[in-house]
């Protein structure tokens, strides 16, 4: 997990011993109530929270029932502002646990308690995360991990297609008043505020044609009928690379949304976090192709480039605008790129690279007005930050 643009800032912290003990005690109480007999947990292993939660792997020390040897406990503090990550987490797991086991790409929900703000989940084991593959030294393993992620995302979309009503019903039953998709507010805020921010920070004007394109992108995002479940985070720390393929973790912003918006995370890998590096030429295209192969049986029109590629560019623009809206005001403060300050590129390098990729893809699509605007932003970033806006290095595995 890392600093994200989808649900507010989140920094990984080790839980205080008292918080960890409290979470384990709460899980024991929930499980004992759930199964009607005492359940004892032991040997908690802190897995690192996201600033908003305590997450631990625990051993099932005593139970009269057939439970797994280990479980994962996740507990949240009180909700923040208008967003309740616990509500999204528990509703997402309820929706996904209802899927047939052979179609499930996520941990099974074992128990939950709204009062204690806690979920108990299946432990998927100590498989490496996608981030470990990318930060390692094996290029082939990293490539396989990325393609597995793309295939898994497509399968997740295909198996949860059209589940809007189910998700909304679960959210209402949860009693949550927060929006069904945490990013909707951010999208509209960025749409209205980024042109002024670009001018104030970089003295870059946003032409009317670009504003119109962005407005069209937002309308498509909000009204899209190609909708399925989205984990709402693309961070490589939230994807386990198991022997059965990638499995998704962390649904603090889980929702049902436009699937092409998620697909844009393959073209601009991990746009919801700041600890991203670059990928080799052609890798993003291979990932998008893998995703399309999985969703084509449900949305055959996405096999048509004339339908898919314009929508993909719109979704890409939204991610770049969101990242710029969130990141541009803090570029001068030398904030770390995420939870990996020692091995992450500076934020200005990440942000500049996203505009460079937008320019490249806009030119390929014939959207010259988008490419020209991207050129203006890139030139302003380079002029202001100089060497700090250098080319984004590749992930260590690909060097």
> What range does the domain containing 68 cover?
17-122
Q: Based on the domain organization, do 104 and 164 belong to the same domain? A: no
6 domain-assigned? no
Q: Which pLDDT score, from 0 to 100, does residue 80 have?
A: 61
2 domain-assigned? no
Structure tokens at 226: 């190609």
Identify whether the C-beta of residue 247 lies closer than 8 Å to the C-beta of residue 107: yes
> For 62, phi and psi rounded to 5 degrees?
-150, 130
Query: In terms of Cα–Cα distance, which of 219, 202, 175 is closest to 314?
Result: 219
364 domain-assigned? yes
Q: Return the H-helix or E-strand segment holding 387.
A: none
12 domain-assigned? no
What's the chain's average pLDDT? 89
Q: Based on the domain organization, do 168 and 286 belong to the same domain? A: yes
Q: Which pLDDT score, from 0 to 100, does residue 15 have?
A: 54
Q: What confidence tier does 330 reach under pLDDT thresholds 50, 70, 90?
A: confident
Q: Which residues, in sequence order, are bridge partners of residue 273?
A: 4
Q: Based on the domain organization, do 136 and 195 belong to the same domain? A: yes
Identify whether the C-beta of residue 12 lies closer than 8 Å to the C-beta of residue 49: yes
**Domain stop point among 92, 122, 152:** 122
For residue 80, give the CATH number of its domain: 3.30.200.20
Q: Based on the domain organization, do 245 and 137 belong to the same domain? A: yes
Query: In terms of Cα–Cα distance, which of 22, 24, 26, 2 is closest to 12?
Result: 2
Q: Based on the domain organization, do 232 and 307 belong to the same domain? A: yes
Structure tokens at 28: 């024991």
> For 43, phi and psi rounded to 5 degrees?
50, 55
In tens, the pLDDT along 222-272 reads 999 999 999 988 889 999 999 999 999 989 889 999 999 999 999 988 998
7 domain-assigned? no
59 domain-assigned? yes
For residue 334, give the CATH number of its domain: 3.90.1200
CA gap 123, 58 in Å, rounded: 9
Q: Based on the domain organization, do 59 and 135 belong to the same domain? A: no
**Domain stop point among 104, 122, 140:** 122
Q: Which pLDDT score, from 0 to 100, does residue 17 have?
A: 65
CA gap 295, 269 in Å, rounded: 19
**Domain stop point among 83, 102, 122:** 122
CA gap 157, 173 in Å, rounded: 23
Q: Based on the domain organization, do 162 and 250 belong to the same domain? A: yes
Q: Output the CA–CA distances (angstroms, integers) from residue 283 to 268, 269, 278, 287, 376, in the order listed.
A: 11, 10, 10, 6, 27
Identify whether the C-beta of residue 218 lies closer than 8 Å to the C-beta of residue 261: no
Q: Output the CA–CA distances (angstroms, integers) from residue 399 to 159, 162, 338, 356, in the order listed.
A: 36, 41, 21, 20
97 domain-assigned? yes
DSSP code for 269: T
Q: Based on the domain organization, do 228 and 322 belong to the same domain? A: yes
Count structural domains, the chain.
Answer: 2
Q: Based on the domain organization, do 109 and 136 belong to the same domain? A: no
Q: Based on the domain organization, do 197 and 238 belong to the same domain? A: yes
Q: Based on the domain organization, do 96 and 53 belong to the same domain? A: yes
Q: Based on the domain organization, do 111 and 218 belong to the same domain? A: no
Q: Which pLDDT score, from 0 to 100, does residue 317 have?
A: 97
Identify whether the C-beta of residue 74 lies closer than 8 Å to the C-beta of residue 55: yes
Write down the pTM of the prediction. Answer: 0.91
Helix (H, G, I), strand (E, B) or coil at 91: helix
Q: Output the CA–CA distances (angstroms, integers) from residue 387 to 203, 327, 352, 357, in the order listed.
A: 19, 18, 11, 18
pLDDT of 129 strictly over 90? yes
8 domain-assigned? no
CA gap 125, 103 in Å, rounded: 18
């Amino acid at each position: 997990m890392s600093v994200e643009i989808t649900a507010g800032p989140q920094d990984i912290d080790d839980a205080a011993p008292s918080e960890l003990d409290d979470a384990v005690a709460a899980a024991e109480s929930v499980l004992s109530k759930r199964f009607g007999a005492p359940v004892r947990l032991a040997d908690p292993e802190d897995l690192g929270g996201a600033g908003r939660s305590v997450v631990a792997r625990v051993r099932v020390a005593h139970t009269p029932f057939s439970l797994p040897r280990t479980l994962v406990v996740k507990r949240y503090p009180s909700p923040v502002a208008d967003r309740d990550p616990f509500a999204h987490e528990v509703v997402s797991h309820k929706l996904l646990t209802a899927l047939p086991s052979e179609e499930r790409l996520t941990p099974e929900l074992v128990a939950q308690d709204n009062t204690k703000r806690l979920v108990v989940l299946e432990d998927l084991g100590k498989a490496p995360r996608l981030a470990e593959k990318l930060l390692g030294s094996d290029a082939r393993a990293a490539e396989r991990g990325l393609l597995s992620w793309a295939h898994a995302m497509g399968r997740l979309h295909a198996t949860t297609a059209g589940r809007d009503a189910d998700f909304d019903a679960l959210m209402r039953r949860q009693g949550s008043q927060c929006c069904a998709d945490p990013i909707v507010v951010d999208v509209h805020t960025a749409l209205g505020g980024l042109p002024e921010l670009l001018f104030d920070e970089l003295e870059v004007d946003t032409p009317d044609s670009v504003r119109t394109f962005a407005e069209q992108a937002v309308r498509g995002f909000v009204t899209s009928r190609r909708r399925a479940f989205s984990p709402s985070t693309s961070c490589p720390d939230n994807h386990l690379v198991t022997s059965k393929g990638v499995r998704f973790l962390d649904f603090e912003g889980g929702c049902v949304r436009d699937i092409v918006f998620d697909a844009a995370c393959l073209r601009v890998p991990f746009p919801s976090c700041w600890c991203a590096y670059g990928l080799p030429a052609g890798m993003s295209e291979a990932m998008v192709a893998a995703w399309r192969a999985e969703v084509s049986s449900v949305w055959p029109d996405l096999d048509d480039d004339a339908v898919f590629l314009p929508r993909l560019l719109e979704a890409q623009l939204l991610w770049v605008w969101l990242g710029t809206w969130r990141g541009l005001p803090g570029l001068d403060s030398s904030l770390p790129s995420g939870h990996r300050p020692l091995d992450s590129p500076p934020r200005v390098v990440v942000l500049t690279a996203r505009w460079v990729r937008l320019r490249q893809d806009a030119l390929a699509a014939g959207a010259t007005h988008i490419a020209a605007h991207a050129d203006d932003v890139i030139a302003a970033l380079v002029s202001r930050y100089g060497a700090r806006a250098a080319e984004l290095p590749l992930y260590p595995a690909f060097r």
